[in-house]
Structure 1
Amino acid sequence: MAVLGVPQAASSPPPPMTTVDIPAEVAEQPDPHLSAVPRTKAERARIAAVIRPTTDFTRAEEYEVRPGGAATTMKQVNRDIFSQSSANMPFESELDFKVGNGLFRKIWVSSPSSTRASDGLGPLFNARSCQSCHIKDGRGHPPAGEDDDRVSIFLRLSVPPRTDELKAAIAAHLLTVVPEPSYGGQLQDLAVQGVPAEGRMEIGYREMAVALSDGEMASLRVPTYSIDDPGYGPLDPEVMLSPRVAPAMIGLGLLEAVPARDILANADPNDADGDGISGRPNFAFSPEFQRVMLGRFGWKAGTPTVRQQSADAFAGDMGISNVLHPAGYGECTEAQMACRDAPDGADADDRDGFEIDGPGLDLVTFYSRNLAVPARRDADDPTVLRGKQVFNDTGCIACHTPKFVTARLTDRPEQSFQLIWPYSDLLLHDMGPGLADGRPEGAANGSEWRTAPLWGIGLTATVDEPAHFLHDGRARSLLEAVLWHGGEAEAQKQAVMTMPKPDRDALIRFLESL
């Protein structure tokens, strides 16, 4: 029996905030995670010229075939294309990448176990390895049927802040959400022996027909989410659900290396330029650096660094304790005492008292930072170039910013001073009621999402077929993903729906080339 059914956009999301207060430590101080050399005035002018959008669609731009700069992998396209290391990685770093890959793929087991280096799973968990969610280092997917697993998709859970103290903490970016009191921040549908799982996510779909120009029709899947068999009593009556598929892992280190100031320069919370696009930054407290930082990662940009993203996933998805999440019982709440009392895998003698020690977390972080972006295909194909012009002329680049230049770094040669093409501004945008989850996260309200980077998107099906897109995998094609756009992107969606079919086909062909 479903105890909670939440169709998308069932609740009215709050209106977008029209102002943004940038914390002083973000606006005025250097990025603490980057050992960056300050840019000269001449460099800033040079960068501004390089990242200016093109107006020539007769040929590919210089360096466009290398979207990850010198880190771009030029290896043959196959199912392993998202698992390649930065092409400019020094030889002496290859071992760290391979060991990090091993930890990323490791299957964790419950405690106590004779395999002490791999025990500590759970007690509640969503997956037994990082690779289980990020399939071949690509994106996850919703279950294909009733018998398919739900390993690479899960439900975020939270409740509204109900006290002045919690409201103040969120306003100050010290918290991004208030976890559900009994179930925590996400629904974990698996558990070790002797501990009840939290429940089972159920997904239902209905089809919605969409008429396009030239007699073409499309069909969109409208999802509904619910929780069956809750293991720890009723959920809070005001609980908010948000489904999330695991995103692709490529290019994370390059996105992390973009100076915060460059990202903030594209923010336009009051739509001062009148183009209908109001990109806003998200911010989050970093336990690693003990300060508020710009959010870059996650579907709502709620996490500031790759290391924190890795640590959060170890704790939340697998119940693996680490230096940023020291509790051996993972996400178990005070309402889940059987979970808290279960054995854990912390061993003070060989793992710093954590289930994955500091060096292990650093190796996974290094691996995650250096999963290379694949080279572009067919960048100078006439149809692709026409699609690129349609993409630009339609206004898609207002959110999907084509280019950045990363900081000049002293300790990360792979990411240092690279011209990159992520096609994302890493800012929040109101995507309208169709995609709204009604669940705020930090500065993001219930209808806002971070602009998804598009690099590598055309290889999604190559890595894990069939392809699924958007935050919950509802879109079965790139066209469906475009047709779900609304809010700030409503005008662009309408333009795609009404443009001549050859232009629409060229646009999709361009996206497939990324």
Structure 2
Amino acid sequence: MTRPHYRLNRLLAPLVLVSSAALGSQSTYPIQDTPLTGGEGSVEQHDHNAFSLPQSNLSITKRLDFSVGNSFFRNPWVVAPASTDARDGLGPLFNTNSCQGCHIKDGRGHAPASIDEPSVSLFLRLAVPADPERDAEILKRHGFLPAPVYGSQLQTSAIPGMKPEANMVVEWQAIEQKLADGTVVTLRQPIYHIESPNYGPMPDNLLISPRAAPPMTGLGLLESIAEADILSREDPEDENGDGISGRANRVWDKASETTVLGRFGWKAAEPNILQQSMGAFAGDMGLTSTLSPQTDCTPEQQCGAFPNGGDKEVSDKVANFIAFYSASLAVPTRREMDDPEVQQGAELFNQLNCAGCHTPTYTTAKVEREDLSGQVIWPYTDMLLHDMGPGLADGRDEFLADGNEWRTPPLWGLGLAQQVNANAGFLHDGRARTPEEAILWHAGEATASADQYRLLPAAERRALQRFLNSL
């Protein structure tokens, strides 16, 4: 029987040679001059626990709140009813039973390496094409039109007595990229299969978007960047002619019931850490809260026939502990900053205009938390949406983000990703096994930078990789 499959990505565009003169000198981009990547709260932790420590400038009294939030983040939630009533109500449909199940040791998730390996920390978002007029209200509040019966996310697990929605299988296709000096790099392109759907056939016009769990470090600092600083980097019409036209997403804030700046998620579709967290509880674990009183279970799936963990399965108190924990995870310090090769790589990063999207530094605004206020940080992101070309496109809109656009992910901690989780992948679906593979997938607004990377001699490519590994 032929597998139904979803090939999201076309082959990469052919190499287009661009001279360094065309890019010009990017001397306006700063070079990091301190190991304190996450400001005064940075930690000197570079092993498998590198992403799991509280900010070093967090007060002693607040470290207890961090520990409580940590327990709810790490410990599994269970089926209701249970004696563990603070953590019951899992499902009936879900993808994982704990936050840590996706954000492995507070770091990145990964895609399954083979067609037979179950997916643990990568899932599929679902949608169908929307009519802008007919579906205006749901698009305003939800950002996309969920799929009939199957909702917004494919749930591949279920509690006893309930059937999961379907199985997700990833098949890999090898693609070879030849660099200017003859070096061949083998990339892998994912093909997604949804098999054995248990609630009727999938829609013929189904849109899918694979999402791997991103790292948790520095979220509170990113939330503390002034909105004006983010918006000042917008250039939707590319008025400066550098080929980069980043723009902000505008999304629905459930608490204020207004449209605001999007900051978090692969398409910047969430406004703050609390809403992002409660959305994950509802979609990934089937747990309700004040901000997300409904899970992704649809009426056709009859989840109401099973016991729940209460009207708000994640209480406001627990939700606040989770959000505090997520906002307090420290960024590790830079390593090998004084190494000449690393310094050369930092210069190349700017010369190739990688910093055109991966904005090196900010100073955070004055916020309620002193440990997050006025911090000079080096996250290497502009928090904006960019067209990354057909090779990475998912074809699924989300609020203002179109099917080619992704938010620039922060690069801090990049070199420790596989120290924390040996299988960690890069890009939105974990397809890239190395930062170099991620670079070679860049297209769209990043075409010139990626093509310049292909032209570099091996020694300069190594220097740039050393710089990325030092972050």
Same fold, judged at TM 0.5 (above): yes
Question: What SS does structure 2 have at the residue aligned with 1:458?
Answer: helix
Q: Secondary structure of the residue that 1:214 maps to in structure 2?
A: coil
Deviation at 1:163, TM superposition (A): 5.8
Unaligned ranges ≥5, structure 1: 12-50, 55-59, 347-352
Q: Are 2:393 and 1:436 aligned?
A: yes
1:106, distance to aligned residue in structure 2 (A): 1.6
Instruction: Tell me how far 1:167 sits from its aligned partner.
Output: 3.7
User: Which of 476, 484, 489 is 2:441 aligned to?
Assistant: 484
Task: Tell whether 2:6 aligns with 1:6.
Answer: yes
Moved more, 158-167 or 497-506: 158-167
1:205 aligned counterpart, secondary structure: strand
Offset of residue 9 of structure 1? 2.9
Secondary structure at the residue paired with 2:181?
helix
Question: Are 2:106 and 1:124 equivalent residues in the alignment?
Answer: no
Moved more, 156-165 or 101-110: 156-165
Residue 342 in structure 1 maps to residue 306 in structure 2: yes
Give how far 1:126 is off. 0.3
In the alignment, which of 454, 457, 471 is matched to residue 500 of structure 1?
457
Deviations 1:465-501 (A, max 9, x none): 0331111111011110000000000111110001111
8 A contact 1:2–1:226 mirrored in 2: no
The separation in 2 between residues aligned to 1:2 and 1:471, in whole angstroms, is 27
- 1:421 maps to which of 370, 378, 382: 378
In structure 2, what is the equivalent of residue 314 of structure 1? 281
Deviation string, structure 1 residues 379-406 (Cα, Å, up to 9, x no partner): 1210001001111001111100001111
Aligned partners of 1:5 and 1:394: how far apart in 2? 36
Q: Distance in 2 between matches of 1:290 and 1:3?
A: 42
Matched-pair contact (CA < 8 Å) for 2:366–2:373:
yes
Deviation per residue, 1:121-140 (Å, 9 max, x gap): 00000000000100000000
Aligned counterpart for 2:51 among listed residues 82, 105, 111: 82
Cα distance in 2 between the residues matched to 1:72 and 1:124:
38
Match of 1:357 among 290, 315, 318: 315
Structure 1 distance, partners of 2:338, 2:366, is 30
Contact 1:9–1:438, Cα closer than 8 Å, also in 2: no
DSSP 3-state at the match of 2:318: helix
Residue of structure 1 equivalent to 2:357: 399
**Contact 1:139 1:247 survives alignment (8 Å):** yes
**Partner amino acid, structure 2, of 1:7:** R
Q: Name structure 2 gaps, 5 residues minimum.
A: 12-26
- Using structure 1 for the length normalisation, give the TM-score: 0.86
Partners of 2:114 and 2:221 lie apart in 1 by 36
Query: Distance in 1 between the 2:227 and 2:148 partners?
Result: 34
Give CA-to-partner distance per residue, 1:280-332, whole Å, 9 cap, x none: 110111112221111110001000100001100111100111111123xx211
Q: 1:71 maps to which residue?
A: 41
Partner of 2:170: 203
Deviates more, 1:173-182 or 1:217-226: 173-182
Contact kept, 8 Å, 1:213 with 1:501, in 2: the verdict is no
In structure 1, C-alpha distance between the alignment counterparts of 2:249 and 2:79, rounded to whole Å: 36
CA contact (8 A) 2:138 2:145 kept: no
Q: Choose the corresponding residue for 1:149, options 105, 115, 118.
A: 118
CA distance in 2, matches of 1:143, 1:311: 26
Secondary structure at the aligned position of 1:213 is classed as coil
Q: CA RMSD in A?
A: 1.6
Q: Which of residues 449, 466, 470 is equivalent to 1:509?
A: 466
> What does 1:112-511 align with in structure 2 at a 5 Å threshold?
112-162=81-131, 164-167=133-136, 170=139, 173-327=140-294, 330-337=295-302, 339-346=303-310, 353-409=311-367, 411-511=368-468
Return the alpha-carbon distance in structure 2 between the equivalents of residues 380 and 122 of structure 1: 50
CA deviations on 1:90-136 (whole Å, 9 max, x unpaired) are 11100000010000012111112232222100000000000010000
- Counterpart code for 2:319: L
Structure 1 counterpart of 2:212, one-letter code: V
Over 4 Å off, 4+ runs = none
SS at match of 1:82: coil
CA distance in 1, matches of 2:200, 2:9: 26
Asked if the contact 1:311–1:322 (Cα under 8 Å) also holds between the matched residues in 2, the reply is: yes
- Counting matched residue pairs gives 456
Q: Counterparts of 2:10 and 2:120 in 1: how far apart (Å)?
A: 26
Q: Give 1:423 shift.
A: 0.3
Q: Tell me the residue number matched to 2:22.
A: none
Contact preservation (8 Å) 2:109, 2:424 = no
Q: Distance in 2 between matches of 1:325 and 1:304?
A: 14
CA offsets per residue over residues 249-306 of structure 1, 9 Å max, x none?
Answer: 0000000000111100000000000110000110111112221111110001000100
Distance (Å, rounded) in 1 between the aligned partners of 2:413 and 2:441: 20
Report the TM-score, using the length of structure 2 for normalisation: 0.94
* Whole-Å separation in 1 of the counterparts to 2:53 and 2:377: 17
Deviation of residue 168 (structure 1)? 6.1
Q: Which residue identity is paired with 1:6?
A: Y
Equivalent runs, 1:74-113 vs 2, <5 Å: 74-75=44-45, 77-113=46-82
- Tell me the SS of whatever aligns to 2:176: strand
In structure 2, give the amino acid aligned to 1:464: N
C-alpha spacing 1:313/1:61, structure 2 compared with 1 (3 Å): closer
> Counterparts of 1:262 and 1:118 in 2: how far apart (Å)?
39
| CA displacement at 1:169 relative to structure 2 | 5.3
Q: How far apart, CA to CA, are the structure 2 residues paired with 1:4 and 1:362?
A: 42
Match of 1:27 in 2: none
Q: In structure 2, what is the Cα distance between the partners aligned to 1:431 and 1:107?
A: 36
Q: SS at 1:284's partner residue?
A: strand
Residue 467 of structure 1 contacts residue 477 of structure 1 at CA under 8 Å; is this kept in 2? Answer: no
Deviation at 1:359, TM superposition (A): 0.7
Q: Does the CA-based 8 Å contact 2:392-2:441 persist in structure 1? A: yes
Q: For 1:429 and 1:185, how far apart are their aligned partners in 2?
A: 23
1:24-63 equivalences in 2 (<5 Å): 53-54=29-30, 61-62=32-33
